[in-house]
Structure 1
């Protein structure tokens, strides 16, 4: 009997199947440092323990017999770690990760937290070519206390092992297009009423952004083979297409889609420095593949604004800004998402719709 695991293929999945993913992962200060070396991120809360404390996010954590004060890491660090746990079981044999929905960040993650992830298969659809199919899963990451840190749905195209295997019944789950702002979770203790705009880097608050406004984040970063692979290894994402040139017909290593998300989010600081915390990801699509040598730029569109009601999901001085974050291969000064044919414009790599918490 083989002791190695080739990963699941499309025909191995069944709707209702629950998978407990291996190797829980403890978040460390090293993750924060590595993230900052990989992405040009400068958001104040994960960058400064003092700033985090000033807005109520200094978290007491028990380390053995000692209580220490920690401040949150970037939300996407926790997302990448939790996502990476799912790869060996869900997307080791993926063609590509296709999209996300209904992702909510339930509470800040701090160094010392250990994340474990489980997934439930919620949908299946074989592709017409019979060579692959789309697997829909809902994944949940919990910390060492059993508390939910993040949950999300995603769908991924996975190769079939046996192209003659019978196609399963098609089940496509109904997923909300947008997380209702009433259901956004504001971290316990968060208070922007004494927010330091100078330290944060920009003066703009919720009311300064208009629905329909587009923001060109200006800067670009050229992808390198070593950095995208280092990032993907950091999150223990083992998908073959990112590391093994023989896993794709074109012989190229595909850049992990999450690497593009983090890069675009970091670039968005220029113009959105006060969009401090990602509260939810409404939808996301990796619209084109990215490879080493591509230069990535980003722009954002304001989709909505929401006042959060204190006493329910609100807190002092906090609002929510719904943003579309678009990453492009090469800079698009016209900031065009789709052409007249309704298809994504050439060069669009990422279309991410998310809610961020911002001073009101």
Structure 2
């Protein structure tokens, strides 16, 4: 801790005091530190494991674009660490969705979607900037854009099915190779990478994003799918009232039409969204199914939180209706019948903020700006 404080102080040319550990993760240490003038800054230091170094590079490069996140006050690639402006305390989107005010929750969802869409539109012409920043802060790890995670997940799904004794339907391998093209060559835009509810601060000045550890350019559909599913790769997953997911999705879509006018065509938009849902369903299956042998909540400490089995069943039900991917849809139905059929997991409930309002057919204390994992 002292070494981190000393390095951050050297970077700023000022001594830092009274550090408070904000939690960080296995990859990083995050501190709020007081400055001599009575202000405060956030220091985020990374360990030297390969994946942590990639996260450092992504965070430093992504935040240095200067859009949506906290201000970067200094970067030390040697430690490595960043010093950022302190956004203070504000409710996250997770806080309001898990709260008890439906109006605040709906407004938060729409602010989140509009903010992400605006970020995407603003960033379209800055891909070269991110590439240069990645090179500046690079630690020898490939960028997230060069990581074939979609294709790797597709291969791992086939192995998982075999291990579960499920025969892959004819044509599944070919369909998986098709969804592997959804990375971002068509309609790319910047994303911090982890746009889950607890990484979105609802400040008086508007939406502010934190956690840029997976910052990259990817298809706008992979981000927009978070509106429909909802929250494709996150722990804070419950169901939304009827029509709310569509309203949230439209708020995002409206922001990107100026830069990608072709997305006004429903045929183009819906096809892209269904492909993104397929990508994220394969992803969650590969990540969670091996861990679903024993069920448990998706978050270590936050409550309420859904269980692994609840989320898997919900995702499989949605993907079982993907008509242009019949083999994948059949795979989802097989998983529902032959795997989830023995779980007796309760259906995924609605977000607490919306109480008992009708669920969609498609399936708090303030939080510090750096308490994300």
- The TM-score normalised by the length of structure 1 is 0.25
- The TM-score normalised by the length of structure 2 is 0.24
Q: Which has the higher contact order (CA 8 A, sep 6+)?
A: 2
Task: Looking at secondary structure, tell me which structure has more strand per residue.
Answer: 1
